Structure 1
C-alpha cells in the first residue's frame, strides 16, 4: 500500500466508523495493493482506474461489502457476486460479516479486483436495458392515458425509476392485482418518487 494512492478523506472515514472499521481497513489494504487510486465518493471509499470507478467499500447493519461498479461483467468463478436488488443492472457486491473472512479471501478478492481493472482497460460497457425494453402493463397505460398529470410525472422520473415501476407493475399474472399495484403507487409517482424512495411503503 503506497501513500501516493491514499486519500486523507478515507482516513477520516475510518476514524469515524463505528461499525466494520477493522473490515474496512483490511479491504482498503487489499484494494490498494492492486494499485488503484483511492477517492472518496458517495460518502464512502471509492477506488478508480484512470478516473473510472472500479470498486467501492461500504457497510450495512448486517454486513460490509466490496461493490464492483461493473460487477455484472465479471466471470465470478467462486459465485460470490450478489445483485443487491432485481433492478440493479451493473453493480455487484461481495459481502463480509467478519474480518477473518476477508483475510482468508484476500487472494481471491485481488483476482476479482484485477479482473475489474481489466474490464476498464478493455473499455467494456454494460448493455443497459432501456425503458422501452420493458413492457407497458395495459392497466398502467390506461391510467397514464386518463391522467395527464400522472403521465407527465412518470416521464419526469429517471429511467431507472421508470424501469423499476414497469417491472413491478408487470409481475402479477392477474389483471386485478396489476391494477391494484398501479393504484397504490400513483401517489408516489406524482411526488416524483421511485420504488426504493418510499422506504416505509410495502412493495406488495
Structure 2
C-alpha cells in the first residue's frame, strides 16, 4: 500500500468505498501501487496496467491497454471515439464492484498477461483520421495552410483534428478552424 494513495482516499468523499474495493482487488493481483496524474495507478515493472478514478456520476477502473482485452461480459467502455487504447469499467456503488469482482480479477489477470507479453495497441495514424469538412475545405483553398498543417508533428495534427471535430454545429467547427489558422501557420500546436 502506498501512503500517497492512502492520503488520496482519505480526501475522496463521494467514491471512497468503491475505490477502496477496487484498490483491494488490484493490490491482490500483485501490482505495485503508485499515484500518477493525481490518481491511484497500478503498475507492473514500471508499466501502467490500471488506474482507478472518480467522476461526478461514476467511479471507474481504467485499463491502459483495455483495447487488447477480450470483453466477454461486455463491461468495457471506450470513453470517447478518440480514445484508442484505454477502456473503463464504471461503477456507481460498492455493490456494483462486488457483483463484478470475479470478472474484475479475471480482467486484471488478462491485463497483466498483456503487459508481460509486451503487447502494444495498434494506434491509428494521423492520416487515418477523417478531417472535418471545415478544415479540409480550408486546406484545399489555401496551399500555404496545407503545407503548414502537413509540417506539424502527427500529434499536433491529431490534436487539431480532434479539437475541430468536437462541435456538433458546422459554424462552430468553422470558427475553431478560422481562429487557429494563425497558430497553424506559425507551426504551433493547440497547447504551444
TM-score with structure 1 length normalisation? 0.77
Identify if the C-alpha distance between structure 1 residues 187 and 59 changes in structure 2 by more than 3 Å, giving closer, same or farther. Answer: farther
Contact 1:81/1:94 (8 A) holds in 2: yes
Q: 2:177 aligns with which of 174, 180, 186?
A: 186
RMSD between aligned alpha carbons? 2.9
Deviations 1:7-51 (A, max 9, x none): 111011001112100111111000000000001100000000111
Structure 1 residue 113: Cα displacement: 0.4
Deviations 1:106-130 (A, max 9, x none): 1110000000000011111110001
Identify if the C-alpha distance between structure 1 residues 151 and 28 changes in structure 2 by more than 3 Å, giving closer, same or farther. Answer: farther
Q: Which residue of structure 1 aligns with residue 120 of structure 2?
A: 125
Q: How does 1:1-204 map to 2 (within 5 A)?
A: 6-136=1-131, 139-144=134-139, 146=142, 148=144, 152=148, 155=152, 158-165=156-163, 168=165, 180=171, 182-186=173-177, 189=180, 192-193=189-190
Structure 1 residue 184: Cα displacement: 2.4
Runs of 4+ in structure 1 displaced over 6 angstroms?
A: none
What SS does structure 2 have at the residue aligned with 1:161?
A: helix
How many residues align? The count is 182
Unaligned runs of 5+ in 1: 1-5, 195-204
